[in-house]
Amino acid sequence: MATEPLRSLPREQLPTLRTRAATPHHQKHQQHWGQQQRQAQGQQQRPVLRLTVLYDANCPLCAHVREWLGRQPQLVPLDFVPAASPEARRRYPDLDHAATLKEITVIGDGGQVYRATAAWIVCLWALAEHRPRAHWLATPAGAPFARVSVLAAAKYRALTAAPCDDACELPAPPGGGRPD
């Protein structure tokens, strides 16, 4: 199988995807492009094996999507950590945690950081039943739909989530234990 990055997103922020075999010409171009990327980055390209989704635990939409993602069959395991929580700060000390409360942020096990539209697409890419849709959303034809979906979700979130002014207190989970 050939590997192909999602094309409409910045290349440095994309996981390695496994797709159907391409034509020999496409495979040659792909190999050349991959070698250039590895040389430019000075490292070997590494597939994403696990993703961490930082979500706003005070946002009803974010919590709903987190639950939905967790119920889906996953090709790439998803971990869920409340944004700006002590656990998020411990795992990712160099991350701008205030920004993670404003837009969805997903972090790959190789240190890749996906934000906004790229984060939504990579979440779908991790799901067994939605990977084909993620591939399409990452194309020039699908990118406008991905952007509109993210903008609509952001508008809904702005109308339903309580404002926190970068200082949200995370609610205790049922039973009084620590959040994720």
Q: 113-146 burial string, b = 16+ CB within 10 Å, else e?
A: bbbbbbbbbbbbbbbeebbebbbebbeeebbeeb
Return the domain boundaries, the chain. Answer: 2-41, 51-160
Tokens representing residue 87 in the block: 């656990």
The CA–CA distances, whole Å, from 69 to 62, 74, 76, 95, 108 equal 10, 9, 12, 23, 16
First-last CA distance in the chain? 36
**Does an H or E element contain 108, and which?**
strand 105-108
pLDDT at 45: 67
Q: What is the pLDDT of residue 164?
A: 56
pLDDT tens-digit map of 118-159: 999 999 999 999 999 999 999 999 998 888 888 888 777 778
The model's pTM is 0.65
What tens digit of pLDDT does each residue of 37-86 get?
Answer: 444 444 456 789 999 999 999 888 889 999 999 999 999 999 999 999 99
